[in-house]
Amino acid sequence: MSGPRGGPKDGLRDGLWDGLRLWVAPRRVQEEGETPDYRFSLANERTFLAWVRTALALVGAGFAVDQFLPDLRWGVRVGLALALLGAGALCALRAVNHWVRCERAMRRGEDLPVTRFPTVLSLLVGVVAVAMVVVVVFGWAG
């Protein structure tokens, strides 16, 4: 159900679209506010790269579970692999989003955005790790 033209739903959609456009056109971020100290921008970029490395590790772990644990019951193996692959995909997308939000906040002189994503990601990885411990201890083979 869409709101009237110019209504709250259009504003939300426009804001979301503008945010996504910044992912592929980061130069537009430079049009806002004042240029921060380059050290802060570089620190933001290093954080982004750390998130991307984490995403790659999660994707690699998902493929490893699927390819190197063929004796696991199919549902367990696929469930663990998909959880890791999904976490990797979310982490990669969140990395871009977080980089843009932090860069905009620094340029505007605002507080850095708060996020629950590290907690969610940690909980998901913890659940997968506990599931793997259970698999190792009980040896659920197919």
pLDDT, one tens digit per residue, over 86-95 is 999 999 999 9
Closest CA to 86 of 116, 102, 65, 71: 65
How buried is 91 (Cβ within 10 angstroms: 0-12 exposed, 13-18 middle, 19+ buried)? buried
pLDDT, one tens digit per residue, over 13-70 is 556 667 777 777 767 777 888 988 989 999 999 999 999 999 999 999 999 999 988 8
